[in-house]
Amino acid sequence: MYSRVHIIGIGGTLMGHFAVFLKQSGVRVTGSDGVIYPPMSHVLRDVAINQGYDPSHIPHDTECVIIGNVIRATNPEALEAFARMKQGLLRVMSLPEMLEEQVLTKTHNICVAGTHGKTTTSGLLAYTLQRLEQAPSYLIGGVCLDLDVSFKIAGPYFVLEADEYDTAFWDKVPKFFHYRPTSVLLLALEFDHADIYKDLAAVEEAFYGLLERMPEHGVLVANTMSPSVLKLLGRLKKPLRRHLLHGDETYLTDVQDRDGLLHCTFMDRGVTDTFTLRIPGRHNAENALAAWVLLGALGFDKNLVREAFASFRGIARRQEVRLQTKDYVLIDDFAHHPTAVKETLRALRARFPSRMVVLFEPRSASSRRRVFQRAYEEAFGSADCVFIAEPFDHAEDRFSSAELVAALPCSYVLPSAGRVEFVMEHIRPGDTIVVLSNGAFGGIVTELEQRLSLLQVS
């Protein structure tokens, strides 16, 4: 490991926690980014960070520069880093490349992959392994409410949120190609990331590449309700220890949300069993079942696993209750893909059966495009009232907020100015208010939290 590291794009959840890990390991860490908002501004409070990008921000004695995948080739610090590397003065790497080269050769790497549910399932696995006293290593692209950090190198089990997004501007392969998978949880698979994948076939090819990188007799737990997953399994010839969910052997038989808990009953090779979750939604039950099966395949005691599952609190910004009073519930969630929106709202409807008001920001590269225009009409079916913001910025074949609003009952285009006041005019006591965005949404969650809190005082 290098002793003097500079990180370009340090403010992201994963890169920020990686920076903190390096600093706690005795590495001198510097970094650069734009404006960094909470919670990462708090996480990085003890790291030397420059706002903005300039070649002078890279100390002259830096040994290695880590560049985040959001950084473009024209970034002035990236240009400086590659210029110095050509002179033999330092090394330029992506985080996946560093892990592949310096860490993942010695660990049992559990890759949690799929279009939806990766962060929550990775957090559940890491937390459960910690409760099982395995001192797991983990890389999670979100803030797990039960773990101190999102990145940690410790024991031999390494849980990785295996992202299919590309690695870096000079390395246009999925991040998970670098993760040396020992075991894989393959969750639901759909088209996403329209900015880098042409179609579903291209997405499937990427995931096939992940499975091909598994060692013979590695453990594969796969969700066979996904047609794309079934297609990949049909192509795969490598001898693996396959555990197929939702087929004839292992499947959920009952999921009930009552008393603030998700009660899950399932069949596993002829035996009925149960576990309980604090997080809502059948989709979370399905993904937790995948984690259960993997942990069983690795030989862990199911009673201890059941105890850990029951106490897992989830991930920040995944169905996170920000405020709950006698009159209002305010929930912050990361959902942006139509399927994620639909399943999240369905889960919240079961947990909070009151009138549901939803605010949605089309911010991701796919949601800003028309590729999912029609799919969103169905996705918001569980909502009683919907506010749709204009797309975050310009995109090719741009998504139309007005067109979606025209197709939905009781829906509005959210104005760019006076947004909170506009929403407050339409809500009433008893409402559950759900904010959906994979970005900051201009701080609207915090503003709503403050306004709703004041209503309780008055």
Across 103-107, 366-370, 373-377, least confident range = 366-370
Q: Residue holding tokens 């942990």?
A: 295
Instruction: Give the model's confidence band at 195: pLDDT under 50 very low, under 70 low, under 90 confident, else very high.
Output: confident
**Residues 87-116 pLDDT 10s:** 999 999 999 999 999 999 999 999 999 999
Q: What is the pLDDT of residue 395?
A: 61
Instruction: Give the model's confidence band at 368: pLDDT under 50 very low, under 70 low, under 90 confident, else very high.
Output: confident
Element holding 32 (H helix, E strand): strand 28-33
**Residues 217-261 pLDDT 10s:** 899 999 999 999 999 999 999 999 999 998 888 999 999 999 999
Element holding 385 (H helix, E strand): strand 385-388
The pLDDT > 70 percentage for the chain reads: 99
Q: What is the pLDDT of residue 392?
A: 82
Peptide bond before 362: cis, by omega within 30 degrees of 0?
no
The CATH fold of domain 320-457 = Protein-Tyrosine Phosphatase; Chain A (3.90.190)
**Residues 345-357 pLDDT 10s:** 999 999 999 999 9
Q: Which CATH class is domain 99-311?
A: alpha beta
Can you give the residue ranges of every domain in the chain?
A: 4-93, 99-311, 320-457
CATH classification of 4-93 is 3.40.50.720, yes or no?
Answer: yes
Going by C-alpha positions, the residue among 287, 157, 96 that lies closest to residue 275 is 287
Tell me the three-class secondary structure of 387-425, residue by residue. Answer: EECCCCCCCCCECCHHHHHHHCCCEEECCCCCHHHHHHC
Going by C-alpha positions, the residue among 296, 295, 292, 294 that lies closest to residue 284 is 292
Contact residues for 409 (Cβ-Cβ < 8 A; gap 6+):
none
Instruction: Give the model's confidence band at 394: pLDDT under 50 very low, under 70 low, under 90 confident, else very high.
Output: low
Q: In what order do the strands lie in the sheet with 4-8?
A: 48-51, 28-33, 4-8, 64-67, 91-93
Going by C-alpha positions, the residue among 400, 356, 353 that lies closest to residue 380 is 356
- 8 Å CB contact between 109 and 136: no
Mean pLDDT of the 42-52 span: 91
Q: Tell me the whole-structure pTM to 2 decimals.
A: 0.93
Query: Mean pLDDT across the chain, nearest whole number?
Result: 94
Q: What is the pLDDT of residue 457?
A: 57
Strand extents, DSSP E, 259-384: 261-268, 271-277, 320-324, 329-333, 356-360
Q: What is the pLDDT of residue 319?
A: 93
Q: Flag whether pLDDT at 1 surpasses 90.
A: no
Residue 215 DSSP symbol: P
